[in-house]
Amino acid sequence: VEFLYCDLASMKSIRQFVRQFRAKNCPLHVLVNNAGVMLVPERKTEDGFEEHFGLNYLGHFLLTNLLLDTLKQSGTHSHNARIVTVSSATHYVGKLHLNDLQSRCSYSPHGAYAQSKLALVLFTYRLQHLLTANGSHVTANVVDPGVVNTELYKHVFWVVKVVKWMTAWLFFKTPEEGASTTIYAAVSSEVEGAGGCYLYNEERTKSADIAYDEELQRRLWTESCKMVGISDEGSRLP
């Protein structure tokens, strides 16, 4: 195991990480996009993005795009490289505000978090469409880990924290249990060659109806490329 530092809230850090990784000339068979914050107070990343959207979504969008060439070179017909993105059931209530992705008009921690998780599902479906169109041996799937007992809940209201502390053993998954579907998507032979899936409890399930809107997927992709400064036709390090 080798550690390389990457701050998903910093476009500069992401680009630096990719340069360091590429310099090693290693193959890349699995990329798991799993960083995130939840219900944080209104604040911005160093690049000026609203934190939920900038870290949860844009950071992973840029990282994945900059690593796509390596993933494509690493995948084969019999063993596809895999991109696994962790979303949340919260995406079902999310709304994508294309004219206000930074939540400047009206900030709600819950709304901003749900939007970032919906964006990850839309991104995955669009990514798989592009990978398939290019004949790439890479699959992209999105995972709902369920309600997991982690420090992700540190910004919730204190009453919720008390309830969580009292009931976590009954209603919450352990981190190990929460990781099971992500691991399944990353290594299981059952999903070899299958992309564009929404997975929950190691099974394919239906995501929010809006996530299947191909026009919305395309528009979000195009806008995301503009925001992180990459070409809509393909991504290259400067």
Q: Which residues are catalytic?
A: 113
SS3 helix, strand, coil % of the chain, rounded to 5?
50, 10, 40
3-state secondary structure of 225: helix
Residue type, 156: V
| Residue spans of beta strands (DSSP E) within 45-137 | 81-86
Contact 199, 83 (CB under 8 A): no
3-state secondary structure of 224: helix
> Taking Cα atoms as reference points, which of 122, 133, 146, 134 lies closest to residue 196?
122
> Taking Cα atoms as reference points, which of 79, 186, 93, 87 lies closest to residue 137?
79
